[in-house]
Chains A and B, each alone.
Chain A
Amino acid sequence: LVPFAALADDDDFDLANAPTTPAAPPTSHNQITTLPLTPIAPPVAPYQGEVVIGGGWQSNVGVRYGRLNGMVDRGMMALGAFRFRGGDAWDSGETFYFDAEAYDLGQDTRSASLKFGQQGRWGLNFTYNGMTDFQSNSFHSIWGKSGALVAGVAPGSVKNATTVAPLLQVEDIYSRREAMTATGKVQYGDWLVQTGLRHEHREGFKENSLAILGAPSPIAGNGNITSSALAYFAEPIDYDTDRYDISAQYNGRGMQLMFGYTFHNFRDNVASLNLANPFQFSAGTGATGSAATAAAGSPNIVSIYSLPPSNSAHQLKSQFAMNVTPTTRVNLNLQYGLMMQNSPYVAGTGNANFASLPAPSSNLDGSIQTVHLNGAVTSQPFAGADVRLAYTLDDRRNLTPRNAYKQYYQDAFAAAPITPYNMPLNYQHQSFELQGGYRVTPQTKLMLGYAYETTQRNYADTNLITQNTINAKVRSTLTEGVFGSLGYTHEDRLASNYSRNNPWVNGLGVNENEFFRFVNYYQASRVRDEFKGTLDLELSPKLTTTLIGRTAFDHYPNSALGLRDNNNINIGPDISYRISHDVQLHGYYTYQMLFFSQASAVSNAACNGGGTTLNTGPAPCLSNGVWNGHNMDETHTAGASLDWQARDDLKVTADYTFSLGRNAYSIANGGIYSFVPAGTAALQLSPIPDVKSMLNSLSLRAEYQIMPNASLWFGYTFERLNYKDYGTQVNAAQYSNALFSGDSNASYSVHQVFGALRLRW
């Protein structure tokens, strides 16, 4: 999705780099390339320059098309790029060099860099990079970008959200990053000192949503609605991010060292957003709380939404490596990190009717220490054999104070304040790995491995996980022109010290004990089997094919609820064919299938205490109701490319990609469990529409040389996305108590034509 991807890259699409002799055919899996990479050198000149000036035209607005490349709008666009490079001649004995380049000039994604120095002594490098994120040109909100309610809507006035549809503000939601870096290095003997500063500013908006929690009070005039109100808003982004690095490296023949320090600083220039409540809530609903939302209360509700707090982090890094013998190498990586955040708290509530509940302190005083340690010994004990033994520690120690935070978690309705404790999360992950390889024949290598891992956590479902992994792989050249590899991995993860959500029960004061056979999926016991394989066939010197496949099956044997199975299949061929000296074709196809199988309980007042507490025993609550959900996520991707040197002065390339994605969901009765628990109606389920996306993308590029140092570039891109997603195709105001973003369908169909003049000297 770049008009001329090669403007700053003189290898892929460059007449001067076109091959004059057939490239050597790939001889192994790792050597198959999609384009020949055997360029011709121009005459060796100490200084070279290149300028590209042109323009383009886009046929339609394409928000999703231009989300990340900035090319959203219909109409004309300017294109430009340049590159100047040079320095002392290679055999002059001097080492000065410089290289300045810029591309995507005229676009929001423009980039530029300048580097110069004396090779082997010092160097400076400056870069600039723009990036876009265009989310929507049809975002609806009852708040403007300033956070104020739109004209015509008074606080606490909306009884039915469908009536305000004409008043909603329609906005572009867009943010842009601009990153600048400056790096420098000094080399002295075997020592290299490097330093760098990166500053990024990101500004704009992103889509977000706010629940104004009023349950169980009804919204006035909407007796059927017994829950809360919801509305989308444009969250302001005004971030400054800095990173400073300095390191010293020693690069000896037998030993290498590195010491480094990195400082990260993130500053959010907007601390919070105060959003006045547009909805009118009923009077007298705060029976159990404070003054609540009395008749005149709704206008007083201001939801205070906290934005990402400014933070900083320090990292001390060290690396050590030594060849202790000609065949044995020792590596040690150690990193200490400290993350800190101490921004002032925003107010817990903006409801003027609520009694103030001060936070335990004015700010979090949060800090987290991390320690990462990795040590490895790699050796070739005898001919054809290699062994690796490694230990890794990943430790996170959260030093943030633990306090009681008395709070209303609802703005519109104040039940009795709750007093939960925050839970500073800690974990420690350790792994021991042993990997060995042996070349059993000159053509065949066998690899075996074993890993033992443990993870300890606090405030978790399971405080301890142990995992054993074995893997085996064989790589072999089966016969001339036929290479294959096959690998298998078996992983057995066991969760123990099961605490059944007690941390939450005890820490938050909420009554939410867990079903006895449920653990969060990433902490639960799991068995994984994974197979990988590749097959390379060199059918002729001109024709090579590769078949790559991978499957992984995750099963959660102890999870009756939550994720129970997760499978992944990937397979597809890749073919390269050099038709003639001047024409090369490449094609591929990939199929990926992701499958998720999960189950959940149905909350039922008769057995689980008002839908908040499931009984702990196996009976009778097991029969209350469980539903099963399946998600089949399939993607077919196919691509073809042509690289054609049509004449000495004309080169043409074409790329076509097709991608078809389909998500199929099903939710069904949980099988052995009844869906007709006492006191409730039968469970009503209906199908979920498939989510489909189909991408067609065609790119044609040509370069025609009109003079020795001048050429014309032509480009054409066509891209069409057909996207159907029930989840995003929701009108902004179709519910009485919710206002959605109402974004237009993401589908697009865009044609682009480009032309440019390229001058080189």
Chain B
Amino acid sequence: NAQQPTPAQPATFATGGPATCLKCHDDAKVNPILQTPHATKGDAHSPFGQMGCESCHGASGDHVAARSNKPSVLFKGPNASPPAARNEVCLSCHQSGARMNWQGSQHANNDAACNNCHTVHVRKDPVLVKLSQAEKCFTCHAEQRSQVFRFSHHPIREGKVACSDCHNPHGSAGPKLLKELTVNETCYNCHAEKRGPLAWEHQPVRENCMNCHTPHGSNQPRLLAQRSPYLCQECHSNSGHQANPQSGQQLPGKTGFNGAISTNFRAFARGCVNCHSQIHGSNSPAGMWFTR
């Protein structure tokens, strides 16, 4: 509804402040805001420390005079103001910190309005609660909703990890709206043991964890994009034992690809990582092959 015209700008504020509004709007859809930080009159930064309801909804003297005159900023309904107009209200206070990169961000470019995700007139905004946040994000991000139900996933269904633990939906200087400036910096926040530096580094690991992992969920163990050995053979495919085919012929009870008894265990369990179990890097002086 980004195309709805903005209603005409009323000229005056209601004389009685919030009390005037509550004469008509003292109902359950509206007044929970009185239990939220937005309604703290003693805080000069709060809307109620300024112009009350009209801090956000715009000067509404004309609306008070005649209900047919809509407030200047409407956040819901068929006559909702354009996202830019709604966001301007929120950004007039919330432009710093995590929201500093909002302008030009993916959500801003796609006309997302703050109140598409946030609900202000409730005691606690569901999108700010870890247990309920993902449901809001999945409204648009159906691919990720599908992924969290897969065999391997981060504890999002379990309510222990929220989308905002990794992402900053308000804009980021990093990729994919991540809170940190790189993928790896984001992952190290919980997986600090992978940070290093290490004596023997595995280059794709150091550059981007997502070279091998898919963070929202996978049909493969350990959030892998593909299972080992096939994942490993996306790079290690040119020579040596790592390049050999691992078909059903290498499963228990079968012979190897060349007819001899299978003597390697790359086709099952953890694949190549059965032996190269320090695949994220090793700090052993003898760890060149990531086995120690």
Contacts and interface: CB of A to CB of B under 8 A. Distances in A.
B228 to A, nearest CB: 9
B206 A425 contact: yes
A596 B104 contact: no
Given A407-B285, A409-B288, A637-B149, A683 B257 contact: yes
B55 to A, nearest CB: 14
* Chain B binding surface SS class: loop
A447 B109 CA distance: 9
B291 to A, nearest CB: 5
A77 interface: no
Interface in A416-463: 418, 420, 422-425, 427, 435, 437, 442-443, 445, 447, 457, 459-460
Nearest to B284: A306
Nearest to A403: B199
B3 A442 contact: yes
Interface string A277-321: 000000000000000000000000001111011010100000101
B252 A734 contact: yes
A11 B126 contact: yes
Nearest to A431: B175
Contacts of A680: 258
A637 B104 CA distance: 33
Contact of A309 (B28, B198, B269): B198
A601 B239 contact: yes
Nearest to B125: A11
B155 A30 contact: no
B166 interface: no
Contacts of A343: 283
B244 interface: yes
Interface stretch (A39-47, A143-151, A703-711): A39-47
Nearest to B118: A37
A309 B283 contact: yes
Given A9-B131, A211-B291, A368-B196, A424 B124 contact: no
Contacts of B35: 41, 44, 90
A195 interface: no
| Residue of A308, A368, A445, A631 with most chain B CB atoms under a 10 A cut-off | A308
Contacts of A224: 261, 263
A69 interface: yes
A42 B150 CA distance: 39
Contact of A345 (B103, B149, B208, B283): B283
| Residue of A513, A520, A588, A600 with most chain B CB atoms under a 10 A cut-off | A600
Interface in B241-292: 241, 243-249, 251-252, 254-259, 261, 263-265, 267-271, 273-278, 282-289, 291-292
Interface in A685-715: 685-689, 691, 693, 695, 697
A40 B29 contact: yes
A171 to B, nearest CB: 17
B154 to A, nearest CB: 8
A445 B101 contact: no
A648 B251 CA distance: 60
Interface residues of B, number: 147
Interface in B154-192: 155, 157-160, 173-174, 181-182, 185, 188-189, 192
A73 interface: no
B238 A518 contact: yes
Interface in A193-217: 208-211, 213
A436 to B, nearest CB: 10
A345 B199 CA distance: 10
B31 A41 contact: yes
B67 to A, nearest CB: 17
A435 B109 contact: yes
Contacts of B188: 264, 313
* 3 tightest Cβ-Cβ pairs between the two chains A and B: A40-B28, A366-B197, A120-B43
18 contacts: A33-B139, A90-B39, A90-B40, A93-B42, A120-B40, A192-B97, A209-B274, A308-B194, A348-B284, A367-B197, A392-B173, A425-B203, A514-B239, A602-B244, A633-B226, A685-B257, A731-B252, A746-B151
Interface of B: 1-3, 5, 18, 28-32, 34-35, 37, 39-46, 48-49, 76-78, 80, 92, 95-97, 100-101, 103-104, 109-113, 116, 119, 121-126, 129, 131-132, 135-136, 138-140, 142-143, 145-147, 149-151, 155, 157-160, 173-174, 181-182, 185, 188-189, 192-201, 203-204, 206-208, 211, 219-221, 225-227, 230, 233-235, 237-241, 243-249, 251-252, 254-259, 261, 263-265, 267-271, 273-278, 282-289, 291-292
Given A119-B42, A684-B255, A684-B259, 5 more contacts: A69-B159, A388-B104, A637-B146, A680-B258, A727-B268
